[in-house]
Structure 1
């Protein structure tokens, strides 16, 4: 099986690359940071092929796919993992540039990757698309604004893929994690404020990148007649709270 993972230079992507390679599969590890991809490829050996790719640049996607060696072209699993959150401020205080970046990566990049690879899967009658969503796509919270909206798009896009792909043999899943530590996610969201990022996980036992990777592997290796539409994962220390109410005392 050949697996294409975007955002593979760290976090969920690197963890997923490891588990697929460890279980005998070939993995295309894609991302923007060539040095990190090379380091991961050196760790994983010949079963991993690094490709420098920016999902927000359609020319980059076209060029990478056209340049793949023949033995790597039949992509069986696409994992749209590249994504990010920027900022936690209320909408009226948030940066429009940050919003544009999240939409370009989490929505437009994911759509472009899917559209580039999906036709060959349909033609062969097999394949799996795993989109990395978030609990934020279903449950709003203060400061989630555009990040949550992009993940809501991922949820609806995945379900609409399911509607379009019925009978084709191609599967689609939205894998939606909650609180997950040990990655760059919060450091990126807090724009390098490591102290603020650390506070997100203070006193918790969050999910890990390996938890997400193991789940993605399970989804991808189920019998071909089974489609997992959506998985929402949370650590046991996280749950649902009351609606946000501003009280005047």
Structure 2
């Protein structure tokens, strides 16, 4: 789930960046297209006085042939009147339209860069990308925590520790367990006294090994006292 979330966030960040780049490129293209229209509109506006003098359809058509590169645009903006009585005012209508045409200014140099870059939009984009970065970092940290917990809590096959016991030496071949007779039926107190150091004496639960039982009782009592003290501290 976390890996899927991380991939989704990274793809979203990539799409956001591509979207911002496309918006910026569209704005640049719009400004450049507007710059290209400025000289064309200025040239059309300069034709207004000529069309103002054209009081007949023939004179208008002559001017359209003269400015053949702009004729289609002019006719699209101001089409020829269908009424024969208004044909004489066609030239004046074209002149009035061209005179009121908005030319605009060419955006270039530092002003062009300022037009392309909107500080408010840049701040919004940076804030959005920053939030996505924070989410990606949070999910990544969770992934690391899950991985570390998995490694820490995974069951491990630890081999049991073997306690080494020294074998009887050649000097004492008749070494026996404590208080047990050897093959000859005799008990060697010297060997059994050495045996006590590496083989503990068995606990008789009927009579009890009093020192050991007392030690376990003390350990249990101290453990209970420590547990109660810990609970009190936590409270």
- Common fold: TM-score over 0.5: no
More strand by share: 1
More helix by share: 2
TM-score by length of structure 1 reads 0.16
